[in-house]
Each structure stands twice: as C-alpha cells, then as structure tokens.
A and B are shown apart, each in its own frame.
Chain A
Amino acid sequence: MSFRRFWSILKARNLEFFRDRSAFGWNFLFPFLIVAGFGIIFGGKTYTEYKIGVFPHSPVSVRVDRINIPDQFRKARYLKFIGIPTATEGINKLKHHKIDFLLKIGNPPYAYWVSDASPKGYVVEQMFKASLISPELDTQAQKKEIQGSSIRYIDWLFPGILAMNMMFSALWGVGYVVVRYRKNGALKRLKVTPLNAFEYLTAQAISRIFLLMFTLLVVWTGCDLIFKFTVEGSYLDLFVVFLLGSLSLTALGLILASRGTSEEFTTGILNFISWPMMFLSEVWFSLEGAPQWVQKAAQIFPLTHMLKAVRRIMHDGVGLMDVGVEITILSLMTLTFLVIGASLFSWNK
C-alpha cells in the first residue's frame, strides 16, 4: 500500500465530484427536499388521519362546532371532516377509498356508511359507536399517559431519509461510477500504472465516505434549523453509527463495482438491491406486524441495522454499548463486503 498513490487517486476523485456541480448539488438538495416536503405535508402531525365525509354539506372546509354530530365524536383526535353535498357522492368517494367513513348530519338516530374492505373505516366505526355511549357509563378503563416528549413523525422519518440518501449515494457513487470507468477504459489506463486494486478501491471508498459524512452534516444542520429535531442521545454516537453505516454501504457498492461492464445491467442490479432495501429497512414505515419472513429478510440489509441503531440513539437516548448488536453486525457486513469486493475486482472489461 503506497499512501502517495492512494492520496493521488483520492484527491482526483474528490475534485471530480466537487466539480460536478449538478451531482454535487443534488446530493444535498434531494434529502433536504424530501424532509422539507414531509415537514410541510404533515406539519409535525402523525400521518395516520381518518377522513370522515359528512353530508349534506357544501364542499368547503367543515366547521366541526357547527354540524350536528355526537359530541364525543366531534372531540375525537385525528379525524378530518370533509363536506359532501349528497349521499350518492359520499358513497362513491367511500367506494374509491377517498374517505374512510360517511356520516349523515342531523339528529339521532344517525345514519352512516362504511366499506367492509377498509380497515380504517372499521376503526372509525368503532370510534363512532363508542361516542354514542354516555361518558358516565364508561368506567371500565383508566387512562395512563406515557411520560416524556412524544416523537413527531418528522423526527422518526428524518434519520430514514438521511440513511436512504446515504444508501443511494454509496451504491451509485461507487458501484455505478467504477463500472462506467471500466467500460470507458479509464480503469485500463490506471491498471498499467503501479497503482494496485487495493489502493484504488480504498481511495474510492474513502472519498465516498468523506462525501457521505459531509453531506450528512450539512443536511442535518440545515434541516435542524427548520424542524428543530430532538436528539435524546449523543451526537457523537450518532456520528459513529452513521460512519459505520456509510462504510458498510460503500463496501456493498464495491461489490457491485467489482465486475460489471454494462451500465444498463448495473443500473438493474442497483435497483434490485436498493429498492427492497429502502422499503424493508423501515425508512418510510415500520415493519411491525409484517409477516415474520419479511422482518427476517430485512435483516440482510445494512440499512436496517444502521437505522435501528440511529433511531434508538436519537429517540431513546441509548449509548453505543446499547446498540452493540447493530454495531457488530454492521462491522461484520463491512468486512465481508470488502473481502468479496476486493477478491472479485477486475480492471478489465
């Protein structure tokens, strides 16, 4: 290993990336836009919201205090009331799952419509029925509230978006770029110099990890100024887990970079890996309640372990020792990916 050769390639790769203004800008803009978009859409609320169509009512925003519905139902949280002029229109919307529940405004007995195919409709129906019982009779359960601050959806989503951006950047920035260099002959030119595969791949990986961490810091700082994220644990611990995650994802990118000669085929493979990883690693939604085999399959992805550790540090305030399992798995994955990537690597087409 010659540090001089490694440094030359690392410097050249960094210059190449930072001067490619469009790719550089997009790396920062993409996660920021997604976080900002979700922040605006959900405005800090949970995304689970039940839509109740009420008729007859003009299709303008509904003043809940001015419609005739049960008081307990009116006060229930997470319900959004939508005005609908006629029953026919309401039933049509219900059929197409545009609303979860349709209610005729007026005096009791109330009339309502619900779709048997809608789980959310069933929940609203139970809520509606419960609201018809007098509160004085409801003495079977005692409410206990959880202590501490609640986790906003945006707080839960944010690390997922950052990790997803890291995944795409690591896989495409290493896997795709090296395949392109193999195809256009740039690797062949480097092969006839004293540079060896280990020096070249290390430079590629370090360059990408530096970029990933730099992006992480910039995007985190930018988003935090707007959304004021709550971090219960240590920022240093978060940084360590993100660093290990980026190492692991970059090493996975090196496997993809090791042999491919067709950009089209590599794009297919990258999509084949990145899309399931994005959906099964709980970037967007929790896998709680999903079939066991799906939950087990998700364990093969480094993103799953990185996100699990990051969310525990961020939301539960745990330390590195508490996420030791995830750290060990990520370290083993990194090592395995590096060994496979380095042993498969070829300079030639």
Chain B
Amino acid sequence: MTALIEVKNLVKKFGKVAAVNDISFSIEPGICFGLLGPNGAGKTTTIEVIEDVIPPTSGKILYKGQPRTASFRDEVGIQFQDTALLNFLTIRETLETFQGLYRNTAGIEELAELCQLSEFLDQYNDKISGGQRRRFLLALALINQPQMLFLDEPSTGLDPQARRNLWNLIHNIKTEGKTLILTTHYMEEAQYLCDDIAIMDYGQIIARGTPQDLIKRYGQQVTVILPKNHFQPSAQQFSLPYREVKDTVEIMTDNVNACLDQLLSYNIDLSEISVRSPNLETVFLNLTGRKLRE
C-alpha cells in the first residue's frame, strides 16, 4: 500500500539549533499515527512542516507519493492546539466562512451533530466552554471532508469527562477511514487512539511501533507495590531492584510469580499489594528519562 505521507531526511533549523534533525518516516492511510515526545522534542515543528505551515530547512515531504501541491490544503484538515478566529462571529457563521474557503465541504448541521455542537451553533465563537471549543475546532478541521486530519494536542486542558467524550468523537472519525496524525502529551490518549506511534526526543525519532510493540520492547518490567511498613527485609536480603516512593515500596520485576514467592518467603503481608502493568507512560519515561524538561 502506498504511504499517504512520506517524510524523507527532514531537517528544520532555527538559527543554529536543529529542532528536527534528519528524520524519516511514512504514514499509511486509514490509521491513527501518534507523534509523542517531551516538550521541545521537535514534534510540533515536524507536524507544522508536514502541514506546510513552515518550510523545511532540507528534506522532502511527499503526499500520496508526490510533492504537495495546492490541492493538499483542500484535502487535509488541521486542528491546532489553540487558535484564534475571526471575532464577533457565531459558530455557524465561522463554519460557513470556512466552508467558503474549500471546494468539497460538509454540511453545517451534519457537522454540528457529529461534534455535538447543535445547541451552540448560534453562540459567538468566543463565548463557549473549553470542551465546546475543542469540539468546534474539530468541526472546523472537518469542514472540508478531509482525507487526512492533523490533531495537535486535541484534549489539552479538558476535564476527564470532556476528554473521554472527545476521544470517542475522534474514534468515530477514525472509523470512517480517515487518516489521523496526532500529537499528544497524554499517553493514555495515545494508547487509546493510536495504531502507530513514533517517539521523538532532541529532534530525532527514538522509537517507533504499535503501542503494544513499544510496551513489549521498552516497558517489560511489572511494578509490584507494597506499603512501606509491610516491607521489612534489608536491601542485602532482597535480590530484586526496588525503590521507596512516599509511603510505598515499588519493586520492578520481569517475573511476578518469582517476586511474590520471594516476598512470601519473608512472611510479608501481601493484603495491600498492588501490581502495575507497564503502559505507554512507562515506555515514554524509560525512553526520554524522568528529569523535568523546560
């Protein structure tokens, strides 16, 4: 199958700083591709070069195997993390304005229903809640019935209910066969929505695969958690690596059974034990480190 997007040896420099340093990857049609990375990793720059918002320093971007032409903007939908719009327009009028900018467009009512905006269509676009605004920006990105949709941190700043609601909405859009390109800080979001993930750091892709692949490769260890006052053996006696976190002790292991056997051999009370499986967050932290990035 021909890749929908191919990024070849992309470099983007700002002055002497290389925000994106010679990366290459391709995105298959119909999937949700996630680009993850800590702040300053280069993911937004990468996405903005693909979106044709900023030019690359070097490298190629191919869309359907060809360099992007004017029709690219007609065929893709873009939701920026946050964006200002024309003032003093209602949601309906803003959607109508954007409708006028594209050739093939979706109906306003249909979009409003899909994005749960029907009740707010006649409200001014700056007089809506955070969740409504995210759904409205999503509707704007869908106004041209795009084949490919860019979503830049779509759920940042939303409460858990609004976030779940947005995920369901994006999931429904994905089932229509559209290709989604997503950047996010929420690992749970990436795990829920993405089929293929690239993790970026310092301008380069440091890992690539499905969420399950990445967890298998980079997040093998299970964490066994016990209250600190139940854990009596000294470090010399206990062979597995562990660390103290507040009132608990976290033991990292590849073999839960062996770990439990060892704990039982010390007559440790396991009534308050909990076991945490590795997830995408474990992978992310293992790959990019636990130090705060500015």
Contact = CB atoms under 8 A, between A and B. Distances in A.
A15 interface: yes
B80 A185 contact: yes
A348 interface: yes
B234 interface: no
A236 interface: no
Contacts of A11: 97, 100
Contacts of B51: 192
A195 B83 CA distance: 17
Interface string B52-90: 111000000000000000100110101010111111110
Given A8-B100, A193-B102, A16 B70 contact: no
B139 to A, nearest CB: 13
Interface residues of B, number: 29
A185 B86 contact: no
A29 interface: no
A193 B144 CA distance: 9
B80 A15 contact: no
Chain A interface SS verdict (over half): helix
B53 A186 contact: no
Interface residues of A, number: 25
A185 B101 contact: no
A348 B55 CA distance: 11
A348 B45 CA distance: 13
Contacts of B281: none
A127 B83 CA distance: 70
B98 interface: yes
Interface string B100-111: 111100000000
B100 A4 contact: yes
A343 interface: no
Nearest to A183: B84
Contacts of B102: 193-194
B53 A188 contact: yes
Contact of A16 (B52, B53, B83, B89): B89
B53 A192 contact: yes
Contacts of A12: 86, 89, 93-94, 97
A184 interface: yes
B73 A192 contact: yes
Given A181-B84, A185-B83, A15 B101 contact: no
A193 B73 contact: yes
Contacts of B86: 12-13, 16, 186
Contacts of A13: 86
A190 B102 CA distance: 11
A186 B88 contact: no
Contacts of A185: 80, 82-84
Contacts of B70: 194
A65 interface: no
Nearest to A347: B53
Interface in A170-199: 181, 184-186, 188-195
A138 interface: no
Contacts of B76: 192
Contacts of A5: 100-101
Interface of A: 4-5, 7-9, 11-13, 15-16, 19-20, 181, 184-186, 188-195, 348
Given A193-B73, A194-B74, A348-B53, 14 more contacts: A7-B100, A8-B96, A8-B97, A8-B100, A12-B86, A12-B93, A15-B88, A15-B93, A188-B83, A189-B83, A192-B51, A193-B98, A194-B70, A194-B101
27 contacts: A8-B96, A8-B97, A9-B101, A11-B97, A12-B86, A12-B89, A15-B89, A16-B86, A16-B89, A19-B88, A20-B88, A185-B80, A185-B83, A186-B84, A188-B80, A189-B78, A189-B83, A189-B85, A190-B101, A192-B51, A192-B78, A193-B73, A193-B98, A194-B70, A194-B73, A194-B74, A194-B101
